[in-house]
Amino acid sequence: MSEYVTRAIVLGFKNSKEHDKIFDFYTEDLGRVRVRAPGGKKIVSKLSPHLDTCNLATVKIVEKNALTLTDAVVEDDFRASKGKEEFLAKALRAASVLRTISPEAVPDPALWNLLVHSLRSGAFDLVALISVLGYDPRHASCTWCGASDIAFFNEGSQEFLCESCGSKINENNLLYLK
């Protein structure tokens, strides 16, 4: 059994079984991990309801078969403090991108620092984010037509698209980069 104490940004969560929650964290020490928070344990049921997407928290995770959250202290609730809708929309979008394309259990100090800096400064640069993840739009061209003027990143297929090609597909999968 291993125990980790690390800072983490909440990328999202969902309810599981009756009282459990499954959290997606981007952690400073472990990279992206999926952690179960059993609702039956008193300490977690007290703390985990306060953990929300885009929060920065210090978490204690125990590894025993699966990863289990045993404690969490929120350091920064960026949702509450900023009150900027555009920032929150971008931060939630960034969290969704990370859930989809960041590798599991690979710590990345550059990515961690960018995330914390973006949340603290209230400005999310999605181009910088996907660049750190290895998808650099500055040297990309449209996957469909070859145009060099990139407007979108399709997080589902991990393709870059120009404005015209991007407008032809479901925008829920698309990050607008301009």
Closest CB to Zn ion among 22 and 147?
A: 147
Query: Cβ 172 to Zn ion, closest distance in Å?
Result: 19
Provide the binding-site residues for Zn ion, judged by CB under 5 A: 142, 144-145, 147, 162, 165
Closest CB to Zn ion among 133 and 142?
A: 142
Rounded distance, CA 135 to CA 131, Å? 5
Query: Cβ 140 to Zn ion, closest distance in Å?
Result: 11
Query: Cβ 176 to Zn ion, closest distance in Å?
Result: 14
Closest CB to Zn ion among 104 and 171?
A: 171
* Selection from 46, 45, 63, 49 nearest residue 4 by Cα: 63
Cα R_g (the chain), whole angstroms? 17
Q: How far is CA 143 from the centre of its chain?
A: 25
